[in-house]
Structure formats: structure tokens, C-alpha cells
Amino acid sequence: LLQVVRFLAARVHLGRATMRASQKDFDNAVKQVKLLKEDPGNEVKVKLYALYKQATEGSCNVPKPGVFDFINKVKWDAWNALGSLPKETARQNYVDLVSSLIPSSEASSRGEPGTQEKLLASEDVVVTSEDGITKIVFNRPTKKNAITTQMYQEITQALKTASKDNSAMTVFTGNGDYYSSGNDLTNFTSTPSGNIEEFAKRGADILRDFVDTFIDFPKPLVAVVNGPAVGISVTTLGLFDVVYASDKATFHTPFSHLGQTPEACSSYTFPKIMGPAKANEMLIFGKKLTAGEAYAQGLVTEVFPDSTLQKEVWARLKAYAKLPPNAMRISKSLIKSSSEREKLHAVNAEECTTLQARWLSEECIGAVTSFMSRKAKL
Ligand SMILES: CCCCCC/C=C/C(=O)SCCNC(=O)CCNC(=O)[C@H](O)C(C)(C)COP(=O)(O)OP(=O)(O)OC[C@H]1O[C@@H](n2cnc3c(N)ncnc32)[C@H](O)[C@@H]1OP(=O)(O)O
């Protein structure tokens, strides 16, 4: 048992080297353990005990119980086996272990093979889990999957949940002919008080949280771009790890047309991905790219014929989802290092502040009014 505990501790320590559970996550996990409906069994309870002690008190610092004090000796052995594991790592491992014990219906997903579970009760954003893949679907096909304020918040929440669930990766796609037409332009007119300044402030906060969640998402994040993508549904792609696209997809960022400016860190990621010359044409002049062009410029990983996209992409993703999840997460954290994420958060904050002011500009208000009065379409 000792060897197993040591091995697990070292392995999990390595696997979670780049993760940090907050004190709040830990406190929540402690509460969740008390609410578990099923007994997790003695072996798990001993592990939880040891991790709890290590997280709260550090290395084992009490005398070894006598040989006949069986229960306390097993607990002591497990704690002692954690050696000098840092408190922070023990806290993270505790949180991970607890989240693995919570049934999918309560937490998020466990992804039993072949069973699809609906995880979020929303019409417009559908979240399911199957075969180790959490799938987040834009589901407003009659509105070309335009993203409402509520959808931003639901997606933020879905990503936070997915970051801790048992799935290996998260995949975004759209229902219907569009991937997404971007921000729902009626967001600007549907603030409860009709006060645009209030919308601008609240919108910037919601947007910053939304994008921050993409920046910090620890598992592979994949987009299956099933059709045209506009605005923020394009810019967020720069924060994905892999982007598969239908040959019917297009990529359009008409910010200047709308009196707006780039978001989702695209002012940083796009020049990095495709070079400034191409990024400028997209982000300043609103040049729409075909799927082939987006592939040539490095925004898209691979383009598929629309007729075979679903079959080919999902077969491939299911196979990828079986790869060792910790290895994938660690590789991702090497590629998107903490200094890179820091940079992205700073870019996000600046873009949101800029947009907040832009939304109050005549240029932007005029463009939205034109769309609403059906005078303008992209
Ligand atoms: C918290 C705030 C964060 C803000 C983040 C900043 C984000 C910025 C962006 O995303 S900028 C991009 C914004 N998007 C647009 O400007 C697209 C506007 N839409 C269009 O130009 C066209 O609808 C189209 C080219 C996408 C599709 O044209 P078409 O094929 O002719 O279809 P329809 O126009 O008839 O569309 C069907 C139906 O959907 C409604 N709709 C489509 N897109 C949007 C949208 N983005 N916002 C609101 N509504 C949209 C359209 O009005 C039609 O509705 P109707 O059937 O008339 O009720």
C-alpha cells in the first residue's frame, strides 16, 4: 500500500505540476466529501485523509502509532508516505481525487463510453459528454448561432466545469449551417434599463471572464468549425489548440465595419499565428478568409470536405481522447506557458477596456442600428 501511495503521490505531483487549486476549491472539496452519496471505500478514504493532512499540516509530524492501533497506523503510513510533497500539490491532488468521486450528474461529466450525457440545461448552449470528450455546441441555428450575453456566461461556466471533469478534451462546434455569427447584436439593445453605458461596463466584464476562461483552460481545446464563423467565434480560435474546419467554413472579423476592435486576444494571437501582414488585413480591413486561406495562414489545422467532416473528425477526436490525459495537459502547459498566459490576460484586459469605450462610439452605435433596421448585413 505504501508503495502504491508513494507512486501515486509522485505521479500525481508530476501530472499536476502546473495546476493550482485555490483554498476555496479545497474547502469546497472538503465539503463535497461529506456529501458523497456512495462510500468511496477504505483505500480512497485513506488517500483522502493523507492528502488532507498533508495539505493542511504539511509532512507527517506525529509519532507512529503502535502496531496494534491498526486503523491509525494505516492512516499514519499513508500520510507519512507523502514525504515532503508540497502542501499546494497535496491540496490540488485532494481536489482532483474528490472531483473524480463525484457522479457526473452532480459534477459535470464522467463520460462512460458510448453514453451521452447532457450536462447543462440550456437551449442555446448544449453541453454533453461522451467518450472522454466534453462537447459544447452553439445551438441557435435560426439566429446563425449568434452569442447572447447569457450564452457567454453559460459557456464560461461550462468551460470551468469541463476543466475539472473527467473528460480528456473539450470540443466546440455549431448546430446548423453556421459555426457562429459572433456577438448577438441585439445584446447592445437588450440591457434591462436600455442604458448603453451600463451594457458597455457589464459587457466588458463578461467578455473578460469569458476570454480568461479560454486562456486558462488546461486540457486540449478543439474547434470543429462546421460553417461560417464571424467576429468573436473567429478570434477565440487563436486560443484553441486544434481547429478543424469544413470546406464551407469562412472566417470573418468585420470589426472596423462595426466600429469595433479585436477581442479574445486576437490583436496578439493573430499576428503571432499568421504574421502581421495577413492579420492586419483580417483585423483592420475585415477581409473574410475561406477555409483554405485560413489553413494556409495557420489559423486552421486541417480542412475537410463538408460531406465527411463529422465522420472523419469525430473518429479522430475519439481516438485522441484515449491518449493519457495528464501527458496531454502537461504538453499543453509547456506550449502555453505561464508567462504566455500572463501576457494573454494582459492583452485581454486591454482589449476589453478598449471595446468598452468603442461600444459607446457613434461608429459602433450606427453600425448596430443599421443591422437592427435591416439596412446592413455583412
Ligand atoms: C458581452 C459582449 C461581448 C462582445 C464581444 C465582441 C464581439 C464582437 C463580434 O462578434 S463582431 C461580429 C458580430 N456579428 C455580426 O455582425 C453578424 C451580423 N449578421 C449578419 O451579418 C448576417 O446575419 C449573416 C451574414 C451572419 C447571415 O446572413 P443571412 O444568411 O442572410 O441570414 P440572416 O441575416 O437572415 O440571419 C438569420 C437570423 O439570424 C439573425 N442574426 C444573425 N446573426 C446575428 C447576430 N450576430 N446578432 C443578432 N442576430 C443575428 C438575423 O437577424 C436573422 O434573424 P431574423 O430571422 O431576421 O429574426
Q: Is 187 helix (H, G, I), strand (E, B) or coil?
A: helix
> In this predicted model, which residue has the larger pLDDT, 366 or 328?
328
Closest C-alpha to ligand 1, atom 31: 377
> In this predicted model, which residue has the larger pLDDT, 10 or 132?
132
CB neighbours (10 Å) of residue 35?
8
CA 362 to ligand 1 center in whole angstroms: 20
CA 25 to ligand 1 center in whole angstroms: 38
Mean pLDDT score, 93-121? 61
pLDDT at 293 over 60: yes
Amino acid in position 158: A
Mean pLDDT score, 204-228? 98
Q: What average pLDDT does the chain have?
A: 88
**Closest atom, ligand 1, to C-alpha of 228:** 26
pLDDT at 26 over 60: yes
Burial level of 337, CB count in 10 A (0-12/13-18/19+)?
exposed
pLDDT at 112 over 50: no
pLDDT at 121 over 60: no
**For 42-79, how does the pLDDT look when each residue is reduced to its tens digit (9 = 90+)?**
788 888 999 999 999 999 999 988 776 777 888 898 99
Among positive and negative, which fits the CA dihedral 127, 131, 133, 139? negative
Q: How confident is the model at residue 117 (pLDDT cuts 50, 70, 90)?
A: low
> In this predicted model, which residue has the larger pLDDT, 233 or 84?
233
- Looking at residue 11, its pLDDT comes to 42
Q: How confident is the model at residue 188 (pLDDT cuts 50, 70, 90)?
A: confident
CB neighbours (10 Å) of residue 366?
13
Mean pLDDT score, 311-331? 98
- Looking at residue 13, its pLDDT comes to 42
Report the C-alpha gap between 226 and 212 in whole angstroms.
24
CA 229 to ligand 1 center in whole angstroms: 10
Q: How confident is the model at residue 4 (pLDDT cuts 50, 70, 90)?
A: very low
139, 144, 202, 230: residue to mutate for ligand 1 pocket, most atoms within 8 A of CB: 144
- What value of ipTM does the predicted structure carry? 0.99
Cβ–ligand 1 distance for 364 under 6 Å, the answer no
Mean pLDDT score, 236-245? 98
**For 260-279, how does the pLDDT look when each residue is reduced to its tens digit (9 = 90+)?**
999 999 999 999 999 999 99
- Looking at residue 191, its pLDDT comes to 66
Cβ–ligand 1 distance for 377 under 6 Å, the answer yes
Long-range contacts of 184-187 (CB under 8 A, 24+ apart): 184/143, 184/146, 184/147, 184/148, 184/149, 184/151, 185/146, 185/368, 185/371, 185/372, 186/146, 186/148, 186/372, 187/148, 187/149
Closest C-alpha to ligand 1, atom 54: 143
Among 18-32, 113-127, 159-173, 252-266, whose mean pLDDT is lowest?
113-127
Per DSSP, the residues of 41-52 read -HHHHHHHHHHH
Cβ–ligand 1 distance for 258 under 6 Å, the answer yes
**Closest atom, ligand 1, to C-alpha of 257:** 16
- Looking at residue 376, its pLDDT comes to 61
- Looking at residue 118, its pLDDT comes to 59
> In this predicted model, which residue has the larger pLDDT, 41 or 253?
253
Q: How confident is the model at residue 113 (pLDDT cuts 50, 70, 90)?
A: very low
pLDDT at 105 over 50: no
Mean pLDDT score, 84-90? 90
Report the C-alpha gap between 358 and 261 in whole angstroms.
7
- Looking at residue 79, its pLDDT comes to 94
Report percent pLDDT > 90 for the chain: 67
pLDDT at 243 over 80: yes
Q: Is 114 helix (H, G, I), strand (E, B) or coil?
A: coil
Q: What is the 3 state secondary structure string of 126-169?
A: EEEEECCEEEEEECCHHHCCCECHHHHHHHHHHHHHHHHCCCCE
Q: How confident is the model at residue 195 (pLDDT cuts 50, 70, 90)?
A: confident
Nearest to 95 by CA among 182, 177, 163: 163
Mean pLDDT score, 132-151? 97
- Looking at residue 1, its pLDDT comes to 43
pLDDT at 16 over 50: no
pLDDT at 145 over 80: yes
Cβ–ligand 1 distance for 227 under 6 Å, the answer no
